[in-house]
Structure 1
């Protein structure tokens, strides 16, 4: 359940409790909000009715990608960057933008790509570890145990 849906469900439950005659404190405990929210909801409910506490349609510019397109992008990105012709299997905002354009025909700015990834897809920033492939843990441990104390003592 999304955050707006959860908030609406709380308000709907509060209305049911208003109609049963529950106190603001009881309702606040039951739906998990502060009593000030319940007082505000009760005022709206008394003045405008239960429908005034329903979720309203989002205002502002509609998103460039609909939900089906977002799922198409998710599937394309999960195949990996190499599957889309990139040398390394690493995603950058520019690369994601190219893939979005290829699979949906919609061109997004870097900021919009970031919002798509972190908001609608729920992904987070991941940075690759900067480590040599030839790294030998046993040699590093030996150096720290033997060489580093010798070097430090020489100061």
Structure 2
């Protein structure tokens, strides 16, 4: 179960990102965060409801919440492509800093150990390697977007 400080950090990350909805599931516990008119409403699985305040995000708890994990599906013609997925929940960055060039873009060739992006989680910047040899076909997420564990980040045409 996430600690309240970790939940607050997730709320801040989502508030800064362009995503509207985020769901995290671990060991049968589900936290679902949704933006509505600049307000974030997290849902955490525990036993009793808790309300923070009228101006702050509301934490609603339930016995069970439906799993709402959405992935961007590749078009049917791209079934033979490999996906590079996020190994953690965090913020996706396509370059080391805003003034630096992108790690990779469509058309670039990658090897298994080629760094393709950074996923920042809890102020730690994790370099993500391709783990597949091939050509980047498509970047599936936007720079600065919050990503989930296992969410596809890139489509790669394997060699």
TM-score w.r.t. structure 1 length? 0.19
Instruction: Report the structure, 1 or 2, having the larger helix content.
Output: 1
Instruction: Report the structure, 1 or 2, having the larger strand content.
Output: 2
TM-score w.r.t. structure 2 length? 0.18
Q: Which has the higher contact order (CA 8 A, sep 6+)?
A: 2
Larger Rg: 1
